[in-house]
Amino acid sequence: MKIKISYQKDADPATDAKIRSPCSSTELSQTLQALSEKAKTATEFIQRLKAASDNMNEQCEELEREFGAQCEALVDAIHARRTQLIEFMHKERDFKLRALKDQVGACTHKLQQTTGLLQYCIEALKETDPTAFLQIGTALINRVANVDIAWHKDMTSAPLHSFQMDLTLDSAPVLRSIEQLHFIQMKAPEPPIIIPDECSAENNSVTIAWQPHPVSFVEGYILELDDGSHGAFREVYCGKETICTVDGLHFSSMYNARVKAFNSSGEGACTECICLQTAEVAWFTLDPITAHPDVKFSNENSTVMCDSYEHRVVIGSIGFSRGVHYWEFLIDRYDSNTDLVFGVARFDVNKEMMLGKDDKGWGMYIDNQRSWFLHCDGHEHRTEGGVNVASVVGVFLDLDNHQLSFYVNQEPQGPVAFTDLYGVFYPAVSINRSVAVTVHTGLDPPTDHESEGDDS
């Protein structure tokens, strides 16, 4: 192993100074600049502290004014309560005085009657004629005996009402409250805590649950929800509950929800968003609440029938405003003279006429031979082929393309029935005598469907 040893000549001090001087001045300059920045930051910090001191004095003066106003309000409340209590005491006194006066009057009247009877009896005893005394003696004895028996009933020896003002002011709770009166440090609450395990989405509704921040004073909560398309948030609930279900949302949509708490100091920050996905397909029943009394429901409101000769419209329990939806009606009972119309309607459709007769219903009339489309009492696109018992009528509502189509036994029934459909639409069926149908929901849309603009 070779070891290499190097030797270095002694350096000239003057030469060394010339070499190192520029480096040292640069380092000093950089250090001075850093120190200057720190001094500047410290100066700004001291200025902020002074400003905070002045601001604290202003806050203290403002707080003192608020405190004085609150104390004055408490004093005014005590004075108002004192006035009410004194008024109550005066009413109690007047009541007792009236009761004593009435009792004195009744006793005086009874005493006068008794005194008069005594004087009359004394005069009768002075009568010298025995025959005259015998004529009134028996009546006097009975009268005196009756007065004596009723004496304790008519002339009580105790007042009917207490003549003492037995009222005592219970001021202990107020004094305790005054002793407990103190300042609290109030600020807007911290964000609540979402409970993911208790949040859920079912059909076209979502449920959000949360709990308050452990160190915050909360007076209420605000739940906000977007539009299901990452749009702006809107307030859907404000109150004290910590769980909320929002109904009537769009199907097959991802909703973002967030919660914030508030108190008298203001609203706190929102929680992180929680995402909830509504169902891709709709599960619904027919609505008995809005239906005519002639319509009979069974099978958990999935089957309807009607024995009336008049047409009755039944709508579904939910409405659609976007997305693609498909459902089917199974014809359980059918008479050749029955009028059947399947389709969609607005919530306020006339439910006492055939579906499609007014401007709030879109439907397909079908019998055992043919069908046509109905809206505003007009019909078009007559198509051969009808239905019988066990036939299945499908309704395809495509709100992505804003159109409505119909199927019979899995085959298209005519062309696209209606286009330019915007707004909220409810599944609907129009029935009358001797017919029963059952709705089947949560079905996948047909795969062979063609839009109005598609090539044949």
Same domain (yes/no): 273, 307:
no
User: Is 185 within the bounds of a domain?
Assistant: no
Does residue 393 have a pLDDT over 70? yes
Report pLDDT digits (tens) over 297-314. 999 999 999 888 899 999
Amino acid 131: pLDDT: 74
Same domain (yes/no): 145, 240:
no
User: Is 290 within the bounds of a domain?
Assistant: no
User: Is 1 within the bounds of a domain?
Assistant: no
Does residue 451 have a pLDDT over 70? no
Same domain (yes/no): 271, 362:
no
The average pLDDT across 434-439 equals 93
Residue 456's pLDDT band (boundaries 50, 70, 90)?
very low
User: Is 27 within the bounds of a domain?
Assistant: no
Same domain (yes/no): 67, 96:
yes
Amino acid 452: pLDDT: 55
Same domain (yes/no): 242, 113:
no
The average pLDDT across 165-185 equals 82
Contact 253, 229 (CB under 8 A): yes
Contact 431, 306 (CB under 8 A): yes
- Domain stops at, among 278, 311, 329: 278
What's 374's domain CATH number? Answer: 2.60.120.920
Structural domain including 51 reads 33-159
How many domains does one find in the chain? 3
User: Is 179 within the bounds of a domain?
Assistant: no
Report pLDDT digits (tens) over 58-89. 878 888 888 889 889 989 999 999 999 999 98
What's 246's domain CATH number? Answer: 2.60.40.10
Same domain (yes/no): 199, 251:
yes
Same domain (yes/no): 351, 431:
yes
Same domain (yes/no): 202, 79:
no
Of the listed ranges 130-139, 148-157, 410-419, 445-454, the least confidently predicted one is: 445-454
- Tell me the torsion sign for CA atoms 25, 28, 30, 36: negative
Same domain (yes/no): 215, 153:
no
Report pLDDT digits (tens) over 262-303. 998 889 999 999 999 998 888 899 999 999 999 999 999 999
User: Is 288 within the bounds of a domain?
Assistant: no
Same domain (yes/no): 434, 299:
yes
Count of CA atoms in the C-beta half-sphere (13 A) of 406:
30
User: Is 261 within the bounds of a domain?
Assistant: yes
Report pLDDT digits (tens) over 105-155. 888 888 888 888 888 888 777 777 777 777 777 887 888 888 888 877 777
- Domain stops at, among 221, 243, 278: 278
Residue 374's pLDDT band (boundaries 50, 70, 90)?
very high
User: Is 75 within the bounds of a domain?
Assistant: yes
- For residue 397, count CB atoms less than 10 angstroms from its CB and return exposed for 0-12, middle for 13-18, buried for 19 or more: buried
Same domain (yes/no): 416, 305:
yes
Does residue 448 have a pLDDT over 80? no
The average pLDDT across 39-50 equals 86
Same domain (yes/no): 261, 148:
no
